[in-house]
């Protein structure tokens, strides 16, 4: 089941992934580093508001929908009401912040940022419902259409000379049109209705700690850009963001695909089949996340230089290369923590413990950014991010299994993850060496080599049940 759903979500995430790389390549050529820095900063702040105001509601939807699957109308009506109330609060907060700030740039972008925030939040809620309903086809259609529409609109506006506002308006248009074209039925199912007081209390107890946790996670991933802009300038932020997004998004994309498929499966197993089924599903999830995180990080380090040469404009390349290794390590640490070990807190409904790990990491990140950026620039910001994610992962590993005892131990998962990663890295290195120059063909061959090495290791160790699934399918075909 995990393999099947992962393949569905991989296809659905493939188009957005390709579009994201194209967007980085196009925007770093159409925007100056300072403009790209402003765009990155606004995007970061909108993401923060999205987490603070809306993340809890998406998590409530994902965690509780399986229990209401047979009669979801009342539950979804409550979700719709909570979304509208949350949007009203978010709108007032953003407008007040814009009036109070002395930063002219932030005042200039306040209105568009608010429009993007609401469109982003609505789109994410529709996506969360499609995922909870186990509809990967619809999920992929929504995500793919949003990416293509946002990129097309943003690129056209950038060509017209709109500057930093172009990609922001592009994203806003993409979110809105994707909902109108493909998410209307899901929006209609969340037509506002009454929310029982007992349900609201339970949702808030579950969701509010997650809001704090995800907000603190934003501090780890986003505060570096704010501090870079404050201590240095927008150009430094733009160069840092180009290298960070290129390295972080690639590996995160792979891990998000697996988690998107895996989390609903383990929740359904726990709710409908009991602890033994959940334990088996968690082992498969852990094997997939750890092996892909380690293998992906190793292969990205190998192909990093030619990738940067091909994707980024000349003025961004040296800075991106200087931080790429650290960004990849940060991405692997963040993915393992968020998409596997933090699941324990959510399954146990003990989300307040998740706040502890990210709280410590956020403090580490901010302190190190303030200390290291003035001396080392963007390299200092990258080192601070590595240290923060490492601290968060350690705390999550130590506390997670205490809250949800079904989680397999880390050493048992690493027994297969490490050799599989080595085989993937070897395949990537060998094929890239054959190709030689930094070309699209070289990157494709490197990725093909990595995929072959990973698949060979997965089959050898039966990672996430892939060998068993293949033998089972072959057996069914032979019987028929």
pLDDT of residue 408: 74
The burial of 390, by beta-carbon neighbours within 10 Å (0-12 exposed, 13-18 middle, 19 or more buried), is given as middle
| The pLDDT of residue 252 | 86
Predicted local confidence at residue 345, as pLDDT = 78
Question: 125 with 86: CB under 8 angstroms?
Answer: no
Residue 154, judged by CB atoms within 10 A of its CB (0-12, 13-18, 19+), counts as: buried
Q: How confident is the model at residue 198 (pLDDT cuts 50, 70, 90)?
A: low
For 85-104, what is the mean pLDDT? 87
> Residue 454 in contact with residue 423, Cβ under 8 Å?
yes
For every residue of 239-273, DSSP letters joined together read: HHHHHHHHHHHHHHHHHHHHHHHHHHHHHHHHHHT
d(CA 381, CA 391): 16
CA–centroid distance for 163 within its chain:
26
pLDDT tens for 357-383 read 788 888 999 999 999 999 999 999 999
Contact in structure between 169 and 152 (CB atoms under 8 Å): no
Q: Give the residue-averaged pLDDT of 97-121.
A: 86
- Give 21-40 pLDDT, tens digit per residue: 788 889 999 999 999 999 99
Other beta carbons within 10 angstroms of residue 271's beta carbon come to: 15
Confidence of residue 386 (pLDDT cuts 50, 70, 90): very high
Q: Determine the pLDDT at residue 480.
A: 59
* Alpha-carbon separation of residue 344 from 54, 87, 114, 266, 286 (angstroms): 21, 29, 34, 11, 11
Query: In sequence order, what are the residues at sequence separation of 6 or more whose Cβ sits closer than 8 angstroms to the Cβ of residue 220?
Result: 334, 358, 361, 362, 365, 385, 388, 389, 392
pLDDT of the residue at 324: 95
The tens digit of pLDDT for each residue in 229-272 reads: 989 988 999 999 999 988 888 888 888 877 777 777 787 777 77
Q: Is the pLDDT of residue 2 over 60?
A: no
pLDDT at 409 over 90: no
CA 129 to chain centre: 17
Q: Quickly tell me which residue has 């050898």 as its tokens.
A: 460
194: DSSP letter = -
DSSP 408: P
Domain ranges in the chain are: 1-195, 207-409
Q: Report which listed range, 12-16, 66-70, 76-80, 219-223, is most confident.
A: 76-80
pLDDT at 464: 67
| pLDDT for res 475 | 67
**Residue predicted with more confidence, 353 or 48:** 48
Cα–Cα distance for residue pair 209/351, rounded to 1 Å: 6
Indicate whether 146 pLDDT > 90: yes
> 70-79, 182-191, 228-237, 446-455: which has the minimum mean pLDDT?
70-79
What mean pLDDT is reported for the chain? 85
Q: What is the mean pLDDT of residues 453-464?
A: 84
pLDDT at site 25: 87
User: pLDDT category, 273, cuts 50, 70, 90?
Assistant: confident
The Cα–Cα gap between 442 and 202 comes to 53
Q: In the chain, pLDDT over 70 holds for what percent of residues? A: 91
- Comparing 277 with 159, the larger pLDDT belongs to 159
pLDDT at residue 312 above 60?
yes
pLDDT at 296: 92
Above 80 in pLDDT, residue 385? yes
Mean pLDDT of 413-423: 87
Q: For residue 438, what pLDDT is reported?
A: 61
CB atoms within 10 A of CB 427: 24
In which element (H, E) is residue 468 found?
Answer: helix 466-479
pTM: 0.76
Lowest average pLDDT, out of 171-175, 231-235, 372-376, 464-468, goes to: 464-468
Q: Answer for the pair 244, 323: CB distance below 8 angstroms, yes or no.
A: yes
* Confidence (pLDDT) at 471: 75
Q: For 336-353, give one letter per residue: b (16+ CB within 10 A) or e.
A: bbbbbbbbbbbbbebbbb
pLDDT score recorded for residue 370: 96
Residue 415, pLDDT above cutoff 90: no
Mean pLDDT for 108-130 is 92
Residue 86 vs residues 81, 118, 145, 200, 351: alpha-carbon distances, Å: 9, 10, 26, 13, 20
Closest CA to 123 of 138, 106, 108: 138
- Residue 315 pLDDT > 80: yes
pLDDT at residue 12, as a whole number? 59
* Residues in contact with 363: Cβ distance below 8 Å, sequence separation at least 6, in sequence order: none
Structure tokens given for 114: 């608010």
Q: What is the pLDDT of residues 317-372, one digit of tens each?
A: 999 999 999 999 999 999 998 888 888 777 777 666 777 878 888 899 999 999 99
Give the Cα separation of 184 and 68 in Å (integer): 21
Mean pLDDT of 392-408: 78
Of 343, 324, 345, the residue nearest 335 (C-alpha) = 343
In the numeric block, the tokens 């069914």 are attached to: 476
Q: Are 410 and 387 in contact (CB under 8 A)?
A: no
* Segment among 59-63, 131-135, 215-219, 331-335 with least mean pLDDT: 215-219
Nearest CA-CA partner of 406 in 277, 224, 258? 277
Contacts 24+ apart (CB under 8 A), 71-76: 72/189, 73/189, 74/193, 76/129, 76/189, 76/190
Q: How far apart are CA 205 and CA 184, in angstroms?
A: 30
pLDDT of residue 153: 95
Mean pLDDT of 10-28: 76
Give the residue among 90, 10, 93, 8 at the shortest CA–CA distance from 57: 90
Q: How many CB atoms lie within 10 A of CB 160?
A: 9
């Amino acid at each position: 089941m995990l393999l099947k759903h992962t393949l569905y979500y991989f296809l659905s995430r493939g188009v957005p992934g390709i579009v994201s790389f194209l967007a980085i390549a196009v925007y770093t050529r159409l925007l100056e580093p300072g403009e790209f820095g402003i765009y990155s900063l606004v995007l970061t702040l909108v993401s923060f508001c999205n987490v603070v105001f809306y993340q809890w509601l998406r998590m409530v939807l994902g965690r509780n929908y399986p229990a209401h699957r047979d009669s979801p109308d009342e539950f979804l009506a409550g979700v719709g009401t909570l979304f509208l109330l949350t949007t009203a609060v978010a709108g007032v907060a953003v407008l007040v912040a814009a009036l109070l700030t002395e930063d002219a740039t932030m005042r200039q972008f306040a209105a568009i940022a608010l429009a993007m925030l609401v469109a982003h939040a609505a789109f994410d809620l529709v996506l969360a419902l499609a995922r909870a309903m186990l509809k990967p086809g619809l999920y992929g259609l929504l995500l793919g259409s949003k990416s293509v529409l946002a990129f097309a609109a943003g690129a056209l506006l950038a060509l017209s000379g709109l500057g930093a506002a172009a990609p922001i308006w592009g994203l806003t248009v993409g979110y809105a049109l994707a909902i109108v074209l493909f998410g209307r039925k899901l929006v209609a199912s969340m037509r506002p209705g009454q929310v029982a007081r007992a349900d609201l209390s339970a949702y808030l107890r579950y969701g509010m700690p997650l809001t704090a946790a995800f907000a603190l996670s934003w501090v780890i991933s986003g505060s570096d850009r704010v501090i870079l802009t404050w201590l240095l300038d927008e150009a430094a932020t733009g160069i840092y963001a180009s290298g960070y997004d290129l390295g972080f998004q690639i590996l995160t994309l792979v891990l998000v695909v697996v988690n998107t498929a895996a989390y609903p499966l383990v929740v359904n197993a726990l709710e409908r089949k009991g602890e033994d089924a959940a334990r088996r599903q968690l082992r498969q999830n852990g094997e997939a996340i750890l092996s892909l995180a380690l293998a992906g990080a190793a292969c990205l380090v190998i192909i990093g230089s030619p990738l940067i040469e091909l994707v980024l404009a000349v003025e961004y390349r040296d800075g991106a290369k200087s931080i790429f290794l650290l960004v990849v390590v940060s991405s692997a640490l963040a993915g393992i923590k968020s998409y596997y070990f933090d699941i324990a807190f959510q399954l146990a409904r003990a989300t307040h413990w998740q706040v502890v790990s990210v709280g410590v990491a956020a403090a580490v990140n901010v302190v190190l950014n303030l200390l290291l950026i003035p001396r080392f620039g963007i390299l200092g910001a990258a080192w601070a991010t590595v240290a923060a994610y490492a601290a968060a992962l350690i705390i999550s590993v130590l506390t997670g299994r205490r809250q949800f005892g079904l989680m397999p131990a880390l050493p048992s998962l690493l027994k297969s993850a490490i050799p599989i990663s080595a085989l993937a890295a070897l395949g990537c290195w060998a094929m890239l060496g054959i190709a030689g120059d930094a070309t699209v063909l070289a990157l494709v061959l490197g990725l093909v080599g990595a995929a072959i090495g990973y698949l060979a290791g997965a089959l050898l160790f039966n990672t996430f049940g892939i060998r068993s699934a293949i033998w089972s399918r072959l057996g069914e075909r032979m019987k028929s």
